[in-house]
Homo-oligomer: A and B are copies of this chain.
Amino acid sequence: MRQGNGPADKASRSPGDAIVTYKAGRHFLQIPGPTNVPDRVLRAMDMPTMDHRGPEFQEMAKRVLTGIRTIFQTKNPVVIYPGSGTGAWEAALVNTLSPGDLVLMYETGHFASLWKKLAERLGLRTEFIAGDWRHGADAAAIGERLKADSGHEIKAVCVVHNETSTGCVTPVGDVRKAIDAAGHPALLLVDTISSLGSVDYRHDEWGVDVTVGGSQKGLMLPPGLSFNALSDKAIAAQASAKLPRSYWAWDEMLAMNPNGFFPSTPATNLLYGLDAAIEMLHEEGLGNVFARHQRHAAATRAAVEAWGLEVLCADPAQHSGALTAVLMPDGKGADALRKVILERFDMSLGAGLSKLADKIFRIGHLGDYNDLTLIGTLGGVEMGLQVAGVAHKAGGVQAAMAVLAQSGAAEARQAAE
Contacts and interface: CB of A to CB of B under 8 A. Distances in A.
When all copies of this chain in the complex are counted, the total is: 4
B47 A5 contact: yes
Contacts of A275: 7, 10
Contact of A50 (B6, B46, B268): B6
Contact of A401 (B6, B279, B289, B397): B397
A20 interface: yes
Interface stretch (A154-162, A315-323, A381-389): A381-389
Given A224-B224, A379-B376, A5 B48 contact: yes
A27 interface: yes
A347 to B, nearest CB: 6
Interface string A191-214: 000000000000000000000001
Given A24-B289, A268-B222, A398-B397, A83 B82 contact: yes
Interface stretch (A137-145, A228-236, A367-375): A367-375
Contacts of A11: 9, 11, 13, 279, 283
A104 B4 CA distance: 44
B267 A223 contact: yes
A227 interface: no
A284 B37 CA distance: 25
Contacts of A270: 222, 224
Given A11-B283, A28-B372, A383 B398 contact: no
B222 A4 contact: no
Contacts of A314: none
A197 to B, nearest CB: 11
A117 B379 CA distance: 44
A272 B263 CA distance: 26
A78 interface: no
A308 interface: no
A19 B281 CA distance: 12
Interface string A277-305: 00111011000010010000000000000
B5 A40 contact: yes
Interface stretch (A168-176, A179-187, A245-253): A245-253
Contact of A283 (B21, B53, B118): B21
Given A51-B29, A51-B31, A223-B82, A45 B267 contact: no
A57 to B, nearest CB: 9
Nearest to A381: B372
A401 B383 contact: yes
B59 A222 contact: no
B247 A83 contact: yes
A355 interface: no
Given A121-B249, A224-B267, A373 B25 contact: yes
6 contacts: A2-B56, A26-B370, A82-B87, A85-B265, A86-B247, A121-B244
Given A29-B50, A31-B51, 18 more contacts: A3-B283, A5-B39, A6-B48, A7-B60, A7-B275, A9-B44, A20-B283, A27-B50, A34-B52, A45-B269, A90-B247, A122-B246, A222-B269, A223-B266, A224-B269, A376-B379, A387-B405, A397-B401
